[in-house]
C-alpha cells in the first residue's frame, strides 16, 4: 500500500489530536489531584492531633492507640498515593505533550520546510521613533514605580534601631539625675516593654552599663509547663521572703544563705536506699543533672538537661509525685548546638533558686528561666553562651527582688543581677577574675548583707543591692570550684593546689590564717560552731579550728567528695561520690554518727526538710527518713 504525504499528514493530525486530548485529560486529573491535596492534606490531618490529645488524657487507652495508628497509616497511604498519582500523571502528561508537539512539527515540516512567520507592517524610520517613545515611557515608568515604592516602603528596622538608641539616650539623664540605681531598676513600672530593652545602671568603678537586653516574656495565655498530674494551686505570698521563711524552706544551693548551714532539726541519720531502708520515696529524674534539689513549701525542684531539652522538674516533696515540668525552650539567643561540656558537669549542674514567689534555673547554654510556682513561665532569657570548658556550674541565689548570677567565663568575669519579676538586667558588675565555678553566698555581717564569691585570684565581697564591690583579697589560684564558707565574721575560701584561707571581714578585710594540707577541688568549705570542714576529691574529710586554722582532725575515706558538707541539727553531713553519707557530730573531736548509703553514686549535696533528707543520686532522687 502506497501512502502519500497527505495520508501521513492525516495520521499525524489524528495522533496530534489524540495526544493533545490525552494530555488535557491528564492535566485536568493532575489539577484535580492538586486541589484535592490542598483542600485535604493528609500530612496536615487534624484528626490525629485531636486523637493524640485525647490519648494524653488517658494514656492507657489501647483502642485509641490502635485508632491513631490506623488513621496514621491511612494518612500516609493517602499521601503516598497522591504522590504516585502526581508523578505518574506528570510522566503521562509529558509523554502526551511530546507526542502532540512532534506530530504538529511533523505536519508542518511535511507541508513545507519554509514556514513564514506572520509579519507586521514595518516602516523603518517610524518604527524607530515609536520604539524610542515607548522606551522613554517604560524607562520613566520604571523610575516612577521605583521612586514610589521607595517612598511608600516603611523601614521598620531603622525605626527599631533608632528606638533602641533612644532607650539608651533617655536613660542616661535619668542615671545622672537619680544616682540611686535601686529605684530605677527595681521598679517594674519603669521597665520598658520587651522590645524596648531593659534599664541599665552603672555600679561603681568595676561596673559596666548593663546589656540592653530584655528577656522573652511569655504570652499571658502561654502555659509552658506540662502538668504531670493535677498540680495543686500554689498560694504566692507578697513581698520578699523573710530570713525565717528562707530558713524554714531550702531555697538555694547549700541552704538559706548558701553557706551550708541548714536550720532544720531532727535530721535522719540512718538509711540504706539499696535495701529500701527508710526510703520514703524515690523517683528517676527524666533528664540527667548534677543540680541539688531546692524546696519551698511542699514543692521540690531540680533541673535536668540533655541535647534535646533543658527542663525544670517540680515534685511533691512528700510523695515524690511529679507535679509539673517546664522546658527552657524558645529562648531568644539560645544556641541551636549545645555547648561542649564535660560528662562530670553536664548541661544542668547549677542548682536552682527560689524566693517562694518564683523559681529560677540556669543551664550551661546560658539560658535563665523564671517560672511561677505552678510552672508557668514568667520570663526567660539567654545571657550569652558561657565560654566554659567544663560547663557552667555556678548556682543561683536570690536577694530580695534580684536573681544573682556569677558568670565567670573564659572570656570575662561578671556578676549579674536580674530582676526576679521581669528578668531585666538590674546591674552587671565586671569582675577582675578568671573563669570559676563557685556559687555566690549571702551573709549578714551584722552591719550589712554581703554577697561573697571566690575566683582566681580573688575572694570578693559585693553589695547585693547594687553590685558594687566592697572588698577583695587575692589569695586563690587555679580553676576555682569551691564556694566560700562563712561564720562569725570570717570568710573561708579554698581551692586545690592553692590554699585554704580564713579571711576576717568587717573594717579592712585581711587574711587571718592560711593552710594547705587538705584542699578541696569541688566541695565547698563549711564553717559552723567555730569549726571549719573541708572535703577533698581524694577522699579526706578534715576539720579545722575556724579562728586559727589549726587542724582538729582529718579522716581519709575510700571515696572522694564532690558534694559539699552541710550542717544540720548539730551534725555535719557529707556524701562521697559512692553515695555514702558520712555523718559526724559538729564538734572539735571526730565523732562518727553513721555512714548511711544511697546505693548509687552521688555528687549532689543533701537537702533537709521536715525531718527528712533529700538526696539526688546519679540516677534517682531520694527522700530519706523515717516512714
Q: Select from 183-191, 212-220, 276-284, 343-351 the region that touches another protein (CB under 8 A).
A: 212-220
> Residue 276 is placed in which grid cell?
529500701
Q: Is 194 in the site for another protein (CB under 8 A)?
A: yes
Burial of 181 (0-12, 13-18, 19+ CB in 10 A): buried
Nearer to another protein, 56 or 508 (CB): 56
Nearer to another protein, 160 or 497 (CB): 160
Spell out, one character per residue from 369 to 408, where the chain touches another protein: x when CB under 8 A holds, - when not.
Answer: -------------x--x-----------------------
The 490-494 sheet, strands edge to edge: 485-487, 490-494, 500-504, 510-515
Beta partners for 427? 417
Q: Is 59 in the site for another protein (CB under 8 A)?
A: no
Q: Select from 98-106, 182-190, 512-520, 589-597 the region that touches another protein (CB under 8 A).
A: 98-106
Q: Is 534 in the site for another protein (CB under 8 A)?
A: no
Q: Is 130 in the site for another protein (CB under 8 A)?
A: yes
- Least spacing, CB of residue 26 vs another protein, in Å: 13
- Compute the residue count for the chain: 627
Beta partners for 291? none
- Cα dihedral sign, 469-473-476-481: negative
Q: Select from 116-124, 451-459, 543-551, 591-599 the region that touches another protein (CB under 8 A).
A: 116-124
Q: Is 62 in the site for another protein (CB under 8 A)?
A: no
**Spatial separation of the C-alpha atoms in residues 552 and 578, rounded to whole Å:** 25
Q: Which of 60, 125, 173, 239 binds another protein (CB under 8 A)?
A: 125
- Least spacing, CB of residue 200 vs another protein, in Å: 14
Nearer to another protein, 225 or 263 (CB): 225
Crossing angle of the two packed helices 5-39 and 62-111, in degrees rounded to 10? 160
Element (H, E) at 11: helix 5-39
Q: Name the H helices within 502-543.
A: none
Nearer to another protein, 158 or 284 (CB): 158
Q: Is 164 in the site for another protein (CB under 8 A)?
A: yes
Q: Which of 47, 187, 195, 342 binds another protein (CB under 8 A)?
A: 195
CB count in 10 Å sphere of residue 265: 11
User: 484 near 253, Cβ under 8 Å?
Assistant: no
Q: Is 135 in the site for another protein (CB under 8 A)?
A: yes
CB count in 10 Å sphere of residue 279: 20
Q: Select from 124-132, 263-271, 507-515, 551-559 the region that touches another protein (CB under 8 A).
A: 124-132
Nearer to another protein, 2 or 153 (CB): 153
> Residue 612 is placed in which grid cell?
527528712
**Spatial separation of the C-alpha atoms in residues 421 and 240, rounded to whole Å:** 12
Nearer to another protein, 114 or 176 (CB): 114
Nearer to another protein, 22 or 34 (CB): 34
233 phi, psi to nearest 5 deg: -65, 135
Q: Is 113 in the site for another protein (CB under 8 A)?
A: yes
Q: Is 112 in the site for another protein (CB under 8 A)?
A: yes
Q: Is 39 in the site for another protein (CB under 8 A)?
A: no
Spell out, one character per residue from 67 to 96, where the chain touches another protein: x when CB under 8 A holds, - when not.
Answer: --------------------x--xx--x--
Angle made by CA atoms 396, 425, 397, in degrees to the nearest 5:
15
> Residue 254 is placed in which grid cell?
547549700
- Least spacing, CB of residue 109 vs another protein, in Å: 9
Q: What is the DSSP letter of 188?
A: G
- Measured in whole angstroms, the distance separating CA 395 from the mean position of its chain's CA atoms is 14
Nearest to 576 by CA among 591, 547, 597: 597
- Least spacing, CB of residue 287 vs another protein, in Å: 14
Q: Select from 118-126, 437-445, 466-474, 545-553 the region that touches another protein (CB under 8 A).
A: 118-126
The site that binds another protein (CB under 8 A) totals a number of residues, namely 64
Nearer to another protein, 81 or 242 (CB): 81
Q: Is 105 in the site for another protein (CB under 8 A)?
A: yes
- Least spacing, CB of residue 135 vs another protein, in Å: 5
Nearer to another protein, 151 or 173 (CB): 151
Q: What is the DSSP letter of 373?
A: T
**Spatial separation of the C-alpha atoms in residues 313 and 305, rounded to whole Å:** 11
Spell out, one character per residue from 222 to 241, where the chain touches another protein: x when CB under 8 A holds, - when not.
Answer: x-------------------
The CA-atom distances, in angstroms, between 1 and each of 4, 7, 103 are: 10, 11, 22
Q: What is the DSSP letter of 567?
A: E
For 286-305, the DSSP string reads SS---PPPEEETTEEEEEEE
Angle made by CA atoms 233, 239, 240, in degrees to the nearest 5:
100
- Cα dihedral sign, 240-241-244-247: negative
- Site residues for another protein, 311-350, by CB under 8 A, read 330-336
Q: Is 274 in the site for another protein (CB under 8 A)?
A: no
- Site residues for another protein, 142-161, by CB under 8 A, read 142-143, 146-147, 149-151, 153-158, 160-161
Residue corresponding to grid cell 511569655: 218
Residues whose CB falls within 8 Å of the CB of residue 70, separated by 6 or more in sequence, listed in order: none
User: 615 near 606, Cβ under 8 Å?
Assistant: yes
Q: Is 132 in the site for another protein (CB under 8 A)?
A: yes
**Interacting residue ranges for another protein, rule: CB under 8 A:** 34, 87, 90-91, 94, 101, 104-105, 108, 112-114, 116-120, 122, 124-125, 127-128, 130-136, 138-139, 142-143, 146-147, 149-151, 153-158, 160-161, 164, 194-195, 212-213, 216, 218-219, 222, 330-336, 382, 385
Amino acid at each position: 500500500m502506497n501512502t502519500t504525504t497527505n495520508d501521513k499528514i492525516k495520521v499525524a493530525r489524528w495522533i496530534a489530536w489524540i495526544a493533545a486530548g490525552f494530555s488535557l485529560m491528564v492535566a485536568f486529573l493532575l489539577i484535580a489531584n492538586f486541589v484535592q491535596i490542598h483542600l485535604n492534606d493528609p500530612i496536615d490531618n487534624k484528626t490525629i492531633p485531636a486523637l493524640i490529645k485525647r490519648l494524653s488524657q488517658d494514656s492507657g487507652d489501647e483502642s485509641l492507640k490502635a485508632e491513631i495508628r490506623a488513621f496514621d497509616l491511612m494518612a500516609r497511604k493517602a499521601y503516598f498515593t497522591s504522590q504516585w498519582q502526581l508523578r505518574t500523571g506528570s510522566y503521562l502528561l509529558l509523554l502526551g505533550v511530546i507526542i502532540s508537539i512532534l506530530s504538529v512539527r511533523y505536519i508542518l515540516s511535511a507541508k513545507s520546510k519554509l514556514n513564514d512567520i506572520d509579519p507586521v507592517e514595518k516602516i523603518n524610520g517610524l518604527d524607530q521613533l515609536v520604539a524610542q517613545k515607548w522606551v522613554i515611557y517604560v524607562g520613566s515608568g520604571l523610575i516612577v514605580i521605583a521612586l514610589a515604592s521607595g517612598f511608600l516602603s516603611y523601614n521598620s528596622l531603622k525605626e527599631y534601631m533608632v528606638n533602641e538608641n533612644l532607650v539608651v539616650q533617655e536613660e542616661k539623664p535619668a542615671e545622672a539625675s537619680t544616682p540611686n540605681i535601686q529605684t530605677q531598676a527595681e521598679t517594674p513600672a519603669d521597665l520598658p516593654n520587651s522590645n524596648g530593652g531593659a534599664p541599665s545602671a552603672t555600679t561603681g568603678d568595676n561596673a559596666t552599663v548593663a546589656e540592653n537586653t530584655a528577656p522573652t516574656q511569655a504570652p499571658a495565655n502561654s502555659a509552658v509547663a506540662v502538668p504531670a498530674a493535677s498540680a495543686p494551686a500554689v498560694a504566692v505570698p507578697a513581698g520578699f521572703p523573710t530570713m525565717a521563711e528562707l530558713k524554714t524552706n531550702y531555697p538555694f544551693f547549700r541552704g538559706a544563705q548558701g553557706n551550708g548551714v541548714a536550720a532544720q532539726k531532727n535530721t535522719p541519720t540512718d538509711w540504706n536506699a539499696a535495701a529500701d531502708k527508710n526510703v520514703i520515696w524515690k523517683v528517676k529524674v527524666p533528664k540527667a543533672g548534677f543540680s541539688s534539689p531546692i524546696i519551698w513549701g511542699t514543692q521540690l525542684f531540680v533541673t535536668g538537661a540533655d541535647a534535646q531539652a533543658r527542663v525544670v522538674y517540680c515534685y511533691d516533696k512528700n510523695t515524690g509525685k511529679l507535679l509539673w515540668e517546664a522546658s527552657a525552650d524558645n529562648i531568644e539567643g539560645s544556641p541551636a548546638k549545645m555547648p561542649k561540656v564535660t560528662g562530670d558537669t553536664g548541661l544542668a549542674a547549677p542548682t536552682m533558686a527560689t524566693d517562694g514567689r518564683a523559681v529560677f534555673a540556669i543551664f550551661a547554654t546560658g539560658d535563665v528561666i523564671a517560672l511561677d510556682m505552678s510552672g508557668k513561665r514568667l520570663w526567660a532569657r539567654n545571657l550569652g553562651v558561657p565560654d566554659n570548658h567544663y560547663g557552667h556550674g555556678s548556682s543561683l541565689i536570690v536577694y530580695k527582688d534580684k536573681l544573682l548570677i556569677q558568670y565567670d567565663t573564659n572570656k570575662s568575669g561578671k556578676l549579674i543581677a536580674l530582676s526576679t519579676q521581669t528578668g531585666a538586667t538590674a546591674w552587671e558588675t565586671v569582675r577582675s577574675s578568671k573563669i570559676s565555678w563557685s556559687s555566690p553566698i549571702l551573709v549578714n555581717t551584722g552591719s550589712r548583707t554581703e554577697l561573697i564569691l571566690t575566683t582566681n585570684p580573688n575572694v570578693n565581697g559585693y553589695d547585693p543591692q547594687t553590685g558594687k564591690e566592697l572588698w577583695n583579697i587575692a589569695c586563690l589560684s587555679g580553676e576555682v570550684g569551691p564556694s566560700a564558707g562563712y561564720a562569725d565574721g570570717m570568710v573561708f575560701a579554698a581551692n586545690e593546689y592553692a590554699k585554704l584561707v580564713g579571711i576576717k571581714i568587717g573594717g579592712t578585710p585581711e587574711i587571718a590564717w592560711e593552710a594547705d594540707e587538705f584542699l578541696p577541688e569541688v566541695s565547698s568549705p563549711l564553717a559552723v560552731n567555730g569549726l571549719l570542714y573541708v572535703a577533698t576529691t581524694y577522699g579526706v574529710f578534715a576539720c579545722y579550728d575556724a579562728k586559727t586554722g589549726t587542724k582538729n582532725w582529718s579522716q581519709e575515706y575510700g571515696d572522694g567528695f564532690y558534694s559539699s558538707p552541710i550542717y544540720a541539727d548539730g551534725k555535719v553531713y557529707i556524701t562521697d561520690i559512692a553515695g555514702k553519707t558520712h555523718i559526724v557530730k559538729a564538734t572539735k573531736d571526730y565523732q562518727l554518727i553513721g555512714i548511711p548509703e544511697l546505693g548509687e553514686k552521688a555528687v549532689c549535696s543533701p537537702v533537709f526538710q521536715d525531718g527528712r533528707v533529700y538526696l539526688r543520686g546519679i540516677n534517682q532522687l531520694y527522700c530519706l527518713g523515717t516512714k
